[in-house]
Structure 1
Amino acid sequence: MPEIPSADWQYEVPVTGSKQLLPDAGYGKALTNQGYDFEVAVADLIDNSIDAEARNVVVHFLRDDNRVVSLLIVDDGRGMDDDGLDAAMTVGRRREYGDGALGLYGTGLKAGSLSNAASLSVISRTRRSRAAGRRLTASGIEDGFRCDTVDPDYAQNLIDRYDGVIQWQGTIIRWDQVRDFDTVAPGQIERFLSEAIGRLERHLGLHLHRFLARDDFNIDIVVEHVDLPDEELEHIGVEPLDPFGYKLPGRPGYPAELTAPVEGVGNVMLHAHVWPAKSKLPGYRDIGPLADRQGFYFYRNDRLVQAGGWNGHRAAEGHLGLARIAVDLPGTTNDVFSLDVKKKGVTATPAYARGIEKAVDAEGRTFRTYLEAAQSAYREGNSRTEIDRKPVIYPGKGLDPKIRRAVRQELPERGSEDPITFSWVALPEDRFFDIDRDDHVVLLNKQYREAFNAGRRGGLNDAPVAKTMLYLLLEDCFALGRWEKRRQDRLDYWNTIMLTAVLSQRERFFDGRETA
């Protein structure tokens, strides 16, 4: 048996030196196959915007008639100079993060972007530096980690293009050759954008809801046509989607504040909530399958990093569908909680499960008592009868996103049909509206548009009351098979009556008959 060189061989391996081994270019292929979902990667980029103290973020889809061309994420944060850009685009380099930062591993910008797009460009400007940019491509990384320098004139022009967001400083991240965009079949771009934006809006609204609830932070999602640069085809302000945003709890005395003694961390606070049964609020219904959304909601520096799940403590079950527990992770590094690199989940050691079993609140209620309360609320709620509402085709572009959310909140969806959209077009003078059943469009006579906007230029989501009323009247016209004379007659007399109302409104605004 060979002689052991150290008396401590049972505990450590002795070394005699070291050398630096640079990553092989093949590592680039692994970097571009991290499996980041589209909305998860975008959220990771917005984390960087928040760390840069941005107040406004715009997620900008750029499209033409046949495809989505590129995605740009624009913020008004601190920005980066040339050295900062080089550091941000260096593969494998991890910067120092402050205690309250959302960034953690330093890989999200590169891995999240190149998992979704073949090309990542970052254009930025600080208050003291000119506009500059860098570009990483999947092929460039495989070719010795090559990073391209963006033409400074282009960088400045792109910054100027977004002067409504970037005043003195800010950053633009651009994705080109996005894999999801390139798979859209001809004629399906509207449906794709509607679904992709819906998923993105829900994900951002949920995981960043604490930030969006503040007065000083906004995220907007915008769609623009390359040939119509001054006209937005879609504009959605992302609203907070609070998974604890009910008005009244499902059980008196809750939420409860339980203290769990967790070995290796200390006391961990469990904010144990019981949702009201059969709630139709977006924070309950709109965040994914209910079975997946019971359990723990972990936050790191106010950013939601896990939305539901029991972390091995127990299996999901229907009777616990109203149980949600908010947990703010300890700010210090520890061996109990570890965060998934994509910020989609938390791994907890058995020490956490043992601590939960010992959790108790000031009134002596235990974690088990809480689970029993949530189960009782579920059983009692399910014993109540509820009227089934008829499924509808959901509204889409042209109707304010808040109204769309209200429809989704109140009514079930009919299949996966294209949404009903609204468009101001030229129509005969004796028609206020018409419908295009094939393309699911409510057509509005644009010569009456000013009457709904007090003489001002209308926007994409203008005339919300009139459009909502028309949606409620006309929705069932888009799902019928054979078109009956009786239904056409109904549309005709609706049109006559509504046109009379529109003309009356126009006279009040433009003939001096409006009274205070």
Structure 2
Amino acid sequence: MSSSPALPASWQYDVPTNGSTRLPPDAGYAKALTNQGYGFEAAIADLVDNSIDAGAESVVVHFLRDSERIVSLLVLDNGRGMDDRELDDSMTVGRRRDYGGQALGMYGTGLKAASLSHARSLTVISRTKRSRAAGRKLTAEGIEDGFRCDMVDPEFAQRQIDVYDGLIEWHGTIVRWDRVRAFETVARGQSDQFLSEAISRLEMHLGLHLHRFLTNGLNLDIAVWDVETGEETDHISVDPLDPFASKVPGKAGYPRTFQAGVEGVGEVGLRAHIWPAKSKQAGFRQIGSLLERQGFYFYRNDRLVQAGGWSNLRSPEGHLVLARIAVDLPAASNEVFSLTVKKEGVEVTPAFTRGVEKATDGNGTFFAAYLADAEEVYREGASRAVVERPSVIPPGKGVDPKVKRAVAEELPVKGGEDPIRIEWVTLADDRFFDLDRDGHAILLNKTFRDDFNDGKRGGSNDAPVTKTLMYLLLQDCFGLGRWEKKRADRIEYWNSILMASVLAQRERRARTIS
């Protein structure tokens, strides 16, 4: 057996090198970039993160559609914008910029990876106070063709910004997705249903993960625009969905903070909450499976990056669904907490779980006592009798999201039924409303629309009080088998009485004006 040169003394700990070479990414990397597994809502949230980092006070997620299909999606903001050089940097695959300590961005890949995971074409148009409108367009084909990025015609860039002049006045950015894969799979005639479901999921995701920013004044809207008529067909404001905002604590003395000594990090605060048993508040019940939503909620710079889970401390259990713990991640980078690229989870080392097990509050109470308290509140609530309320078909399009949320909090919802939409349509002069039972719709006479909007043009979710009252009165007329004469007669005399009331309101308003 021939002898070989001896390895250096440090071979167990390091591998020596004797030179280097640069290896640019292969064009095939485009497939990896567009296959990052971003969920639709997570991808949009990543774009909104960029808007927040740019100092935006208002952000709009805008779906464009025509009569047959969903055309494209845009995310608009009134942040500080980007000039040509910054646009080039933002569209360079693999380039990382310097992120400030409070930035939500981390890896420099979110814009490209999130967008190209869903769209074959990504366009970014921007302008600053000191620079003209400019844009860059990146496509999957362009990346495969040597990472080619196309320059947007400056005149088009300016015209695109002019369309949104009410939001982008002196500075701001438009991120535009075209050839969106999910949109192209929507069958003809199914766009309304797809948008309704997509917007509902998006509203929940953004309201939850950005709830601290929304509470502190960020304006975030989701809108739908018909490119053929130029009309806005839907518009909602995203409200914060705070997973800790219970009206009363489940147990006196909570929330309370436990301090966990984590090796390599130092003290980490665990803000422990116990929800009231059987709470129907949106922040508890409308953010997903209760089993999955128990446990740790990690925040990075006020952005929720993990919504539930026990991070290897224990397994989810039904009797701990009331337990939620807010953890603000340390500002300094460390080896204990590792945030996923998509900002949907935090990987922790055993140092964190060891610290949690030994964590105590100011009185020396251990974290295990908190878990016991949460379990006790759950078991007491499970044995408590409650008044059964009638189940309802949920309200749908045309009803303000705040109302939808309140209905879901207060009443059990029937499964397997399409939501009841409410819309203004042309009806006979002697009809205030009508029912489309097959289409699950309450139809209001659009002749009277201005009367319930103070003479102003209303949006798709206008006249919330009127629509809510109509929903409460009429929701039990849907999902029935035989249509009884008694019920039909009720619809007729309600119509007569409501017609009298709206005409009386018109007369009163006319006298006030004169």
Contact conserved, 2:264 with 2:334, CA < 8 A, in 1? yes
Aligned to 1:372: 372
Stretch of structure 1 that moved more, 398-407 or 357-366 = 398-407
Runs of 4+ residues deviating >4 angstroms: none
Aligned to 1:220: 221
SS in 1 for 2:138: strand
1:97 counterpart = 2:99 = yes
1:424 deviates by 1.8
Please give the per-residue CA displacement for 1:456-485, whole angstroms capped at 9, x wherever unaligned. Answer: 333332222221111111112221223232
Please give the per-residue CA displacement for 1:299-326, whole angstroms capped at 9, x wherever unaligned. Answer: 0000000000001110000111100000
Please give the per-residue CA displacement for 1:47-68, whole angstroms capped at 9, x wherever unaligned. Answer: 0101000000000011111211
AA aligned opposite 2:225: E
SS in 1 for 2:87: helix
For residues 424 and 270 of structure 1, what CA distance do their matches in structure 2 show?
A: 50
Please give the per-residue CA displacement for 1:178-198, whole angstroms capped at 9, x wherever unaligned. Answer: 112122222221111111101
Aligned to 2:59: 57
Contact conserved, 1:191 with 1:418, CA < 8 A, in 2? no
SS in 2 for 1:248: coil
AA aligned opposite 1:67: R
Please give the per-residue CA displacement for 1:356-390, whole angstroms capped at 9, x wherever unaligned. Answer: 11100111111101100101011111111123333
Aligned to 1:451: 451
SS in 2 for 1:361: coil
Match of 1:120 among 116, 119, 122: 122
Aligned to 1:290: 290
Aligned to 1:279: 279
AA aligned opposite 1:180: A
Q: Which sections of structure 2, spanning at least 5 residues, go unmatched? A: none
| Equivalent residues in 2 for 1:377-456, closer than 5 Å | 377-456=377-456
For residues 382 and 481 of structure 2, what CA distance do their matches in structure 1 show?
A: 36
For residues 400 and 375 of structure 1, what CA distance do their matches in structure 2 show?
A: 36
1:240 deviates by 0.5
Normalised by the length of structure 2, the TM-score is: 0.97
Aligned to 1:302: 302
Normalised by the length of structure 1, the TM-score is: 0.97
AA aligned opposite 1:212: L
Contact conserved, 2:67 with 2:228, CA < 8 A, in 1? no
1:209 deviates by 0.4
1:5 deviates by 5.7
Match of 1:192 among 173, 191, 194: 194
For residues 486 and 76 of structure 1, what CA distance do their matches in structure 2 show?
A: 55
Aligned to 2:165: 163
Contact conserved, 1:250 with 1:377, CA < 8 A, in 2? yes
SS in 2 for 1:496: helix
Contact conserved, 1:390 with 1:412, CA < 8 A, in 2? yes
| Equivalent residues in 2 for 1:480-495, closer than 5 Å | 480-495=480-495
For residues 512 and 306 of structure 1, what CA distance do their matches in structure 2 show?
A: 55
Stretch of structure 1 that moved more, 3-12 or 263-272 = 3-12
SS in 2 for 1:15: coil
Contact conserved, 1:246 with 1:281, CA < 8 A, in 2? yes
1:248 deviates by 1.1
| Equivalent residues in 2 for 1:235-274, closer than 5 Å | 235-274=235-274
For residues 272 and 456 of structure 2, what CA distance do their matches in structure 1 show?
A: 49
Contact conserved, 2:417 with 2:479, CA < 8 A, in 1? no
Identity fraction in percent = 65
Contact conserved, 2:251 with 2:276, CA < 8 A, in 1? yes
For residues 122 and 162 of structure 1, what CA distance do their matches in structure 2 show?
A: 14
SS in 2 for 1:407: helix
For residues 16 and 153 of structure 1, what CA distance do their matches in structure 2 show?
A: 52
1:204 counterpart = 2:206 = yes
Aligned to 1:16: 18
Q: Relative to structure 1, is the Cα distance of residues 413 and 65 closer, same or farther in structure 2, using a 3 angstrom cutoff?
A: farther
Aligned to 1:336: 336
1:233 counterpart = 2:229 = no
Please give the per-residue CA displacement for 1:112-150, whole angstroms capped at 9, x wherever unaligned. Answer: 111111111100101111111111111211121111111
Aligned to 1:145: 147
AA aligned opposite 1:325: I
For residues 357 and 137 of structure 1, what CA distance do their matches in structure 2 show?
A: 49
Q: Relative to structure 1, is the Cα distance of residues 191 and 158 closer, same or farther in structure 2, using a 3 angstrom cutoff?
A: same
1:358 counterpart = 2:358 = yes
Aligned to 1:44: 46
Aligned length: 512
AA aligned opposite 2:293: R
AA aligned opposite 2:251: R
1:404 deviates by 1.6
Contact conserved, 1:57 with 1:73, CA < 8 A, in 2? yes
1:341 deviates by 0.6
For residues 200 and 326 of structure 1, what CA distance do their matches in structure 2 show?
A: 23
SS in 2 for 1:58: strand
For residues 42 and 512 of structure 2, what CA distance do their matches in structure 1 show?
A: 53
For residues 150 and 457 of structure 1, what CA distance do their matches in structure 2 show?
A: 35
Q: Which sections of structure 1, spanning at least 5 residues, go unmatched? A: none
For residues 335 and 117 of structure 1, what CA distance do their matches in structure 2 show?
A: 34
For residues 10 and 513 of structure 1, what CA distance do their matches in structure 2 show?
A: 89
1:403 deviates by 1.2
AA aligned opposite 1:63: R
For residues 449 and 79 of structure 1, what CA distance do their matches in structure 2 show?
A: 39
AA aligned opposite 2:282: P
For residues 508 and 462 of structure 2, what CA distance do their matches in structure 1 show?
A: 19
Q: CA RMSD in A?
A: 1.4
Please give the per-residue CA displacement for 1:52-91, whole angstroms capped at 9, x wherever unaligned. Answer: 0000000001111121111000000111111111110111
| Equivalent residues in 2 for 1:72-83, closer than 5 Å | 72-83=74-85
Q: Relative to structure 1, is the Cα distance of residues 487 and 150 closer, same or farther in structure 2, using a 3 angstrom cutoff?
A: same
For residues 85 and 512 of structure 1, what CA distance do their matches in structure 2 show?
A: 55
Please give the per-residue CA displacement for 1:375-420, whole angstroms capped at 9, x wherever unaligned. Answer: 1011111111123333322222222221121112222332243322
Contact conserved, 1:507 with 1:513, CA < 8 A, in 2? no
SS in 2 for 1:511: helix
Aligned to 2:137: 135
